[in-house]
Copies of this chain bind each other. A is one copy, B any other.
C-alpha cells in the first residue's frame, strides 16, 4: 500500500479534527441573540406590569442561586423560593405597576447575558399611595436548555 494513501487518510482525519476543534462561528448572529435578550427583558417588564406570577414562574430559573433585590429590599433575596415569595408580596401590595426600561445595555458572553438600564416605575399601592420613580435595573439571564432564563434582578431608586 502506497504512502500516499496513508498521507491522504491522515490529511482527511486531520481536516476533520480541525473542523471539529475550530467550528465555524455560530449561525445565529450576535444581533439575533441580542434581540432574544431584549425580548426576554421586555417579557419580564410585561410580567411585572401585569403582576403575573405564572409568567414569573416561566421567566425565572428555579435555582438556589437566583437573586433579587427590590427597591425596598434591606438584604438580597436568595434562591427561587424566596424570590418567588418576594414577587407575590410585591404583586399583593400594588394595585397597579408599569415598568419599562429605556435604552437597555446588553452584553452576551456564551450562555450568560446581562442587561443594565434606567427604568421608569409607575405604581399605585393598594392603599392608594402613588409610587412613581426612576430606578437602575440589572438583569442577568442564563441560557438553560436553549431558553434564556432570569437568574438575577436588582432594582434600586436613582438618588435625588
Please list the residues of chain A having a beta carbon within 8 angstroms of any beta carbon in chain B: 1-3, 5-6, 9-10, 13-14, 16-17, 20-21, 65, 67, 69, 71-76, 78, 105, 107, 109-112, 114, 116-118, 136, 138, 140, 142, 151-152, 154, 156-159
Contact = CB atoms under 8 A, between A and B. Distances in A.
A152 B111 contact: no
A65 to B, nearest CB: 5
Contacts of A151: 107
A6 B1 contact: yes
Nearest to A109: B112
Nearest to A78: B105
Nearest to A63: B107
9 contacts: A1-B3, A67-B116, A73-B136, A73-B158, A75-B118, A109-B110, A138-B138, A138-B152, A154-B154
A103 to B, nearest CB: 9
A63 to B, nearest CB: 9
Of all A-B residue pairs in the complex, the 4 with the closest CB atoms, nearest first, are A156-B156, A1-B1, A13-B13, A112-B112
A76 B5 CA distance: 62
